[in-house]
């Protein structure tokens, strides 16, 4: 069953400081009990890695980033419960789920107490390891594709699962107005996931290129919040009713305040994007909650069921991802990939080790 030996080496990219990347050659590990070695086919650059590279998050060095990735099974350790074969195409859910904490036992394994439970040794590279030729993961983190999928789309299982988590928690009814605030990759994935809901999809986004992309992805109407009054525009697009569900896919406190003001009776506002810095305050009139029974909530990562759903949706092409694939770089050009990812005209930028 084993193919990997310690004599072979592989390359991985380590972000060691702001705008600093080094490339390590390390021994290919043998998977231990319950572990699977994945050969990475493609990994996407997400906000977290971009913040680490830019020097905004200084807490994660030295990081082997890449939490959105997919590849093939290279070696299987003893005691892996799931049926896997060498060469199987798989996506990896980097999030750890302990199975024992209160949240896990309630079925909320996306907000596991021990999700960040990695033991980090000072100075030693750590991380999800998509920016690498191989990644060693636990069997429960592996999701097998039931049929072959293009490698870049396969790597988007993680962000799609996060978006499906949000849309499944707060599902609009047919004919409802659903608003997505922000047409970055996460907002656009919301549009893709909402397409089959029967809701009237409105996207609010100041950038004209991104608004056009939102329409291409299936938005029925767009708002430019820098020139139009957001609350009035939402009313206009909903026959005066307001938004039944609003997904705030940008970390902007005023957008959350506006979304609460533009909510329909019993409307839900979901804070999908995190807001930096922590401790940021918003101001809303509490009477909106009393008089209109509006709910202000949020969404965090994905649970195991969302991941299954994402893998199934990608394999069966029920969610369109192709317009979001911007460009792909070899591993040794990770720095150029970060530069491309920082441009406003890109959505998802990928690393493909081979
Ligand atoms: Zn991500
Ligand atoms: Zn847990």
What separation in Å is there between the alpha carbon of 279 and the centre of ligand 1? Answer: 22
What separation in Å is there between the alpha carbon of 295 and the centre of ligand 1? Answer: 26
Contact residues for 182 (Cβ-Cβ < 8 A; gap 6+): 204, 205, 248, 249, 250, 252, 255, 273
For the stretch 232-243, pLDDT in tens is: 999 999 999 999
pLDDT-based confidence at residue 1 (cuts at 50, 70, 90): very low
What separation in Å is there between the alpha carbon of 140 and the centre of ligand 2? Answer: 13
For the stretch 39-87, pLDDT in tens is: 999 999 999 999 999 999 999 999 999 999 999 999 999 999 999 999 9
Question: What pLDDT was estimated at residue 32?
Answer: 97
What separation in Å is there between the alpha carbon of 104 and the centre of ligand 2? Answer: 4
Percent of the chain whose predicted confidence (pLDDT) is above 90: 92
What separation in Å is there between the alpha carbon of 118 and the centre of ligand 2? Answer: 13
Question: What pLDDT was estimated at residue 7?
Answer: 79
What separation in Å is there between the alpha carbon of 79 and the centre of ligand 1? Answer: 29
Mean pLDDT across 76-99: 95
> HSE of 195 in the Cβ direction (CA atoms, 13 Å)?
18
What separation in Å is there between the alpha carbon of 343 and the centre of ligand 2? Answer: 36
Task: Pick the ligand that lies closest to the CA of residue 68.
Answer: 1
Question: What pLDDT was estimated at residue 344?
Answer: 86
What separation in Å is there between the alpha carbon of 289 and the centre of ligand 1? Answer: 32
Task: Pick the ligand that lies closest to the CA of residue 111.
Answer: 2
96 in Cβ contact with 128 (< 8 Å): no
For the stretch 297-347, pLDDT in tens is: 999 999 999 999 999 999 999 999 999 999 999 999 999 999 999 998 899
pTM of the shown model: 0.95
Q: What is the DSSP letter of 132?
A: B
What separation in Å is there between the alpha carbon of 72 and the centre of ligand 2? Answer: 27
Mean pLDDT across 282-295: 98
Task: Pick the ligand that lies closest to the CA of residue 96.
Answer: 2
What separation in Å is there between the alpha carbon of 164 and the centre of ligand 2? Answer: 21
What separation in Å is there between the alpha carbon of 60 and the centre of ligand 2? Answer: 22
pLDDT-based confidence at residue 94 (cuts at 50, 70, 90): confident
What separation in Å is there between the alpha carbon of 335 and the centre of ligand 1? Answer: 18
- How far does Cα 206 stand from its chain's mean position? 22
Nearest to 156 by CA among 180, 192, 132: 192
Q: What is the DSSP letter of 313?
A: H
Burial (CB < 10 A; 0-12, 13-18, 19+), residue 279, is: exposed
Mean pLDDT across 278-287: 96
Tokens of 114: 């021990």
Task: Pick the ligand that lies closest to the CA of residue 103.
Answer: 2
Contact residues for 159 (Cβ-Cβ < 8 A; gap 6+): 44, 46, 68, 185, 186, 189, 348
For the stretch 4-33, pLDDT in tens is: 545 799 999 999 999 999 999 999 999 999
Nearest to 157 by CA among 327, 306, 352: 306
Tokens of 259: 């979304």
What separation in Å is there between the alpha carbon of 185 and the centre of ligand 1? Answer: 10
Task: Pick the ligand that lies closest to the CA of residue 116.
Answer: 2
Task: Pick the ligand that lies closest to the CA of residue 98.
Answer: 2
Task: Pick the ligand that lies closest to the CA of residue 115.
Answer: 2
Return the minimum-mean-pLDDT range out of 106-120, 280-294, 306-320.
Answer: 106-120
The Cα 134–Cα 291 span in angstroms is 54
Task: Pick the ligand that lies closest to the CA of residue 114.
Answer: 2
Which of residues 37 and 5 earns the better pLDDT score? Answer: 37
63 in Cβ contact with 21 (< 8 Å): no
Mean pLDDT across 211-227: 97
Predicted confidence (pLDDT) at residue 213 exceeds the cutoff of 80: yes
The Cα 205–Cα 214 span in angstroms is 9
298 in Cβ contact with 278 (< 8 Å): no
Strands (E) across 45-175 are located at 68-76, 89-93, 134-138, 142-144
Question: What pLDDT was estimated at residue 100?
Answer: 94
For the stretch 124-170, pLDDT in tens is: 999 999 999 999 999 999 999 999 999 999 999 999 999 999 999 99
What separation in Å is there between the alpha carbon of 269 and the centre of ligand 2? Answer: 26
């Amino acid at each position: 069953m084993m193919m990997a030996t310690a004599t072979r080496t592989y390359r991985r990219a380590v972000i060691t400081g702001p705008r600093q990347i080094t490339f390590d050659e390390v021994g290919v590990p043998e998977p231990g009990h319950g572990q699977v070695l994945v050969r990475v086919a493609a990994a996407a650059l997400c906000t977290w890695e971009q913040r680490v590279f830019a020097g905004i998050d200084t807490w994660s060095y030295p990081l082997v980033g890449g939490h959105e990735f997919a590849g093939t099974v290279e070696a299987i350790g003893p005691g892996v419960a799931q049926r896997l074969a060498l060469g199987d195409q798989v996506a990896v859910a980097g999030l750890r789920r302990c199975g024992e904490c209160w949240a896990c036992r309630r079925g909320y394994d996306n907000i596991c107490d021990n999700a960040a439970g990695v033991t980090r040794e000072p100075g030693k590279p750590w991380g999800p390891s998509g920016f690498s030729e191989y990644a060693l993961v636990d069997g429960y983190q592996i999701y097998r594709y039931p049929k072959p999928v293009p490698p870049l789309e396969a790597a988007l299982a993680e962000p799609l699962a996060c978006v499906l988590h949000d849309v499944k928690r707060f599902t609009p009814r047919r004919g409802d107005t659903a608003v997505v605030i922000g047409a970055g990759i996460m907002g656009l994935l919301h549009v893709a996931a909402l397409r089959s809901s029967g809701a009237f999809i409105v996207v609010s986004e100041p950038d004209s290129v991104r608004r056009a992309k939102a329409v291409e992805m299936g938005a029925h109407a767009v708002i430019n919040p820098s020139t139009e009054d957001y609350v009035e525009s939402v009313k206009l697009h909903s026959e005066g009713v307001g938004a039944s569900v609003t997904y705030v896919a940008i970390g902007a406190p005023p957008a959350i305040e506006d979304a609460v003001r533009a909510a329909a009776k019993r409307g839900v506002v979901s804070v999908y994007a995190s807001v930096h810095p922590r401790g940021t305050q918003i101001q809303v009139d509490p009477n909106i909650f009393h008089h209109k029974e509006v709910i202000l909530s949020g969404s965090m990562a994905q649970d195991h069921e969302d991941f299954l759903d994402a893998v199934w949706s990608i394999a069966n092409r029920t969610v369109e991802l192709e317009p979001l694939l911007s460009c792909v770089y070899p591993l040794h050009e990770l720095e150029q990939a970060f530069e491309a990812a920082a441009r406003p005209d890109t959505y998802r930028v990928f690393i493909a080790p081979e």
